[in-house]
């Protein structure tokens, strides 16, 4: 998770080509076996900022709109894992 967090927000990187500090988002909950291996880095605004506007869409609470705009969480997971050179899916 450290490598993922230090990468920066996967959405900011893909959409804008910029680095922003990231939080860890568990795409399949936090308590299931292997849950910590299914995480993506999102900045505060893309993770839990709670807004859906013309500039960004937050994952919480707008999962459907977030995925329509940026791609499925699984796709983002595969993208970040590919960039970092590992795969746990």
Q: Where are the domains positioned within the chain? A: 2-41+49-84
CATH class given for the domain over 2-41+49-84: alpha beta
Longest dimension (CA), the chain: 36
Q: What is the pLDDT of the chain when averaged over all its residues?
A: 91
**CA angle at 21 for the pair 85 and 50, rounded to the nearest 5°:** 110
Q: How far apart are the first and last CA of the chain?
A: 14
**7-36, pLDDT tens digit by residue?**
899 999 999 999 999 999 999 888 888 888
Q: Global pTM? A: 0.89
Report the alpha-carbon distance of residue 14 to residue 80 in Å, rounded: 10
pLDDT at 89 over 60: no
């Amino acid at each position: 998770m450290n490598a993922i967090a230090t990468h920066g927000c996967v959405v900011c990187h893909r959409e804008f080509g910029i680095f922003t500090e990231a939080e860890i988002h568990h795409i399949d909950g936090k308590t299931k076996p292997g849950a910590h291996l299914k995480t993506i880095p999102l900045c505060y605004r893309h993770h839990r900022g709670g807004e859906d506007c013309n500039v960004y869409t937050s994952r919480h609470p707008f999962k459907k709109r977030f995925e329509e705009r940026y791609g499925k969480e699984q796709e983002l997971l595969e993208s970040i894992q590919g960039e970092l050179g590992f795969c746990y899916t």
